[in-house]
Structure 1
Amino acid sequence: MHFVTGGAFNGKRQWVKQYYPTGTTWFLASDYNSWPVPDKELDTIVVLEGLETWIKKEINVELATDMILEKNIKSLEKWLKWEKKKENRWLVLIGTDISKGIVPIEKENRLQRDITGWFYQRLVKQAERVDQVWYGISETLKSKED
């Protein structure tokens, strides 16, 4: 799994398109109400973009934050199982860093920020590679070779 993060509108998508120029299937959070389900027929590089958006779509102030976090982790685990089933599969996750700046006033937005941060921490532990992209420039934070 490859996790790419960075600020909003800082070139993450363009960087991923250059890094993986062919053979990618993209799933944008803006096109789905929840995480897409892995397809057994996909034998390629799959990019899931907008992790923070999927998390926000799951937020319900009635649910405990750990339940929302676990629900998103279970969705991720389905994709990790898909990735491991065949050698030519590679999962690329793109998530915007929403942890900087002023803490939001609205409870729903604070929950999104907190849960997204916890979720990204788990991603980084599991990822084989992590890149941060700011202003179109990438910095590798973690790689399999490290």
Structure 2
Amino acid sequence: MHFVTGGAFNGKSNWVRKQYHLDDHEHSWYSSYKEDEIPVLNSQKITILEGVEVWVRQVTRSIPADESREKWQSLVREWLKWESEDRQRKLVLIGSDISKGIVPIAAEDRLWRDTTGWVYQDLVSAAERVDVIWYGISQTLK
């Protein structure tokens, strides 16, 4: 599993396309920004899930934060199992960093920001590779 994060509109998606030569390989790309649901992973070798923070927000609106984090931890376990079933499979998760700047005034927005931070910590812990993209430039953290 590969987790890619960084600021909004900082080139994360383009970087992933280039990094994985997606123009040359079959892949599945799901985006919360296009209102895609979190998919059940299929037989594609490369699967990209873009907009993790939006999916976190959707989940936190329907269940409490602790249950939301547990749901994400369960998804991570499923995804790692999916990858382990075929050495050529790769899951790439792209999530915008929403932890910078002013703390939101609305309680719902603070909960979303906090839960996203916890989910990202879990993703970083589980991922074999983690990259931060700022202005199209990558920095590998793990």
Equivalent position SS for 2:55: helix
1:99-138 mapped onto 2 (5 Å cutoff): 99-138=99-138
Gapped regions of structure 2 (runs ≥ 5): none
- The equivalent of 2:32 in structure 1 is 29
Q: Percent identity?
A: 52
8 Å CA contact 2:3, 2:123 repeated in 1: yes
Question: What does 1:35-46 correspond to in 2, within 5 Å?
Answer: 35-39=38-42, 42-46=43-47
Specify the code of the residue in structure 2 equivalent to 1:48.
Answer: L
**2:52 corresponding residue in structure 1:** 51
More divergent stretch after superposition (68-77 vs 4-13): 68-77
| Cα distance in 1, alignment partners of residues 34 and 116 from structure 2 | 19
- TM score, norm. by length of structure 1: 0.88
How much is the aligned-residue C-alpha RMSD, in angstroms? Answer: 1.5
Structure 1 gap ranges (5+): none
State the one-letter code of the partner of 1:51: V
The superposition leaves residues 88-115 of structure 1 with CA deviations (integer Å, 9 ceiling, x where unpaired) of 1011110100000001111221111001
Counterparts of 2:94 and 2:61, CA distance in 1: 23
Amino acid at match of 1:21: H
For residues 1-16 of structure 1, what are the structure 2 equivalents within 5 Å?
Answer: 1-16=1-16
Check conservation: 1:12, 1:133, Cα contact below 8 A. Answer: yes
What SS is found at the alignment partner of 1:101?
A: coil
